[in-house]
Amino acid sequence: MNDANDKFDDAADPTAIVGHSDFTNALAGALASGRMHHAWLLTGPRGIGKASMARLAAAWLLSEQAAATSLFGDAVPQFAVSPDDPGANLVFRGAHPDYLAIAPVLDDNKSGQIKIDQIRDMVPFMAHKPARGGWRVAVIDSMDEINRNGANAMLKLLEEPPEKAVIFLVSSRPGQLPPTIRSRCRVVRLSALDAAMCRDVLAKIWPDADAGHIDLLAQLCGGAPGRAISLAESGAADCYQVACSLLAAPKLDVGAMAALTGKWGRGAAAGRPTREGAVFCLDRLLRLAALTASGGTSLTPCNFETGAIDVLCKRHTAATLAGFHDAFLKDSSRAEGLYLDFSQFLLRLMIKLYEKTLP
């Protein structure tokens, strides 16, 4: 999260992360070969556990088990982290002297970005001798929240990496990163979880939650448990269900739509998870509606989405819905980037979707 939608550690056991064995195998292989890459760029959809996986990788490198393995050249390191390992435990508590976590600071930070001073702080951290005699590890969560100046400062570190130092960079939009950064990293794409794995993760996090609610969130999030958590905790999932109900209603209720979008499009950094949830949900709805209107979709709608999709297909052609979808993605990014009133942007979209374009 900050790929904020990416952090879904099991609070009782931060080592209990599901999936992503391709990355852990590659990391263990790199350590075994003695050719550990200095920078790993973890990519993939938001909410699938990239940031959690990066922190677990840091805990593994800084664990006493990994340190002991590195003393013996004939030992083959296995990627396994015990929550009781002293070194790993310090990482999980954010107290390891050789571990640095960088994420946006929300206090007095309207942009929600990682500041350039935070990147510059990595230089002395990477330069000092490891306090516990092993690696120095930094995790940047995420590169999507670093501006051009911060990216340039990051590039200097990647061009001249210190010895025994590893940086894990998290990004859900690697295509927007400077090619010079991507080319200096070992890029690993992490995949979304399947539905069963996703439900298992959510059930562990919310053991007392209603099974139907877990199933709905698992279906809605598209294999990204972190996204499901953000949608639930920000209230965006509840807003989405209300939005679908309003769009499927026989009569336009502008007042109810305004009340909804006022909650769904809350401003400033504190409202960012809710706004991101709105974009995710409406992106999904418009995509489902456009595909359904054109004759097929590989996604199965949630029960509460079907009524809205049916009505949207009766109001608009597939081409019109596809146009709405493309315009929404572009305009939502522009509205967020210019700090426009997101609630009004959402209200205008809701009214436009409600108004019929078919004869």
Q: Does some domain include residue 220?
A: no
DSSP string, 275-295: HHHHHHHHHHHHHHHHHHHTT
Amino acid at 338: L
What residue spans of the chain are helical by DSSP H?
21-33, 50-61, 64-70, 86-92, 116-120, 122-127, 148-159, 179-182, 195-205, 211-220, 225-234, 236-248, 254-264, 272-293, 303-315, 318-337, 342-354
Can you tell me the distance from the alpha carbon of 63 to that of 244, in angstroms, rounded to the nearest whole number?
A: 48
Domain match, 173 and 244 both: no
Query: Is there a single domain that holds both residue 301 and residue 167?
Result: no
Domain match, 147 and 53 both: yes
One domain for residues 159 and 278? no
Does some domain include residue 227? Answer: no
Same domain assignment for residues 252 and 137: no
Residue 296 domain boundaries: 235-354
Direct distance between the N- and C-terminal alpha carbons of the chain, in angstroms, rounded to an integer: 44
- Nearest partner of 17 among 46, 66, 55, judged by Cα: 55
What is the chain's pLDDT, residue by residue, as a tens digit (359 residues)?
Answer: 344 444 444 445 676 666 788 999 999 999 988 889 999 999 999 899 899 999 999 999 999 876 655 544 545 578 889 888 999 999 999 999 999 999 988 766 666 789 889 999 898 998 888 888 789 999 999 999 998 888 888 888 898 888 899 999 999 999 999 999 999 999 999 999 988 889 988 998 899 999 999 999 999 998 999 999 999 999 999 999 999 999 999 999 999 999 999 999 999 878 989 999 999 999 999 999 999 999 876 778 999 999 999 999 999 999 999 999 999 999 999 998 888 899 999 999 999 999 999 87
DSSP 8-state symbol, 46? T
Evaluate whether residue 213 is within a structural domain: no
Beta bridge partners of 166: 137
Partnered with residue 187 across adjacent β-strands are 41
DSSP, collapsed to helix, strand or coil, labels residue 108 as coil
Reading phi first (left if > 0) and then psi (alpha if -120 to 50, else beta), residue 282 is in alpha
- Whether residue 206 is contained in a domain is answered as no
In a domain, 226, yes or no: no
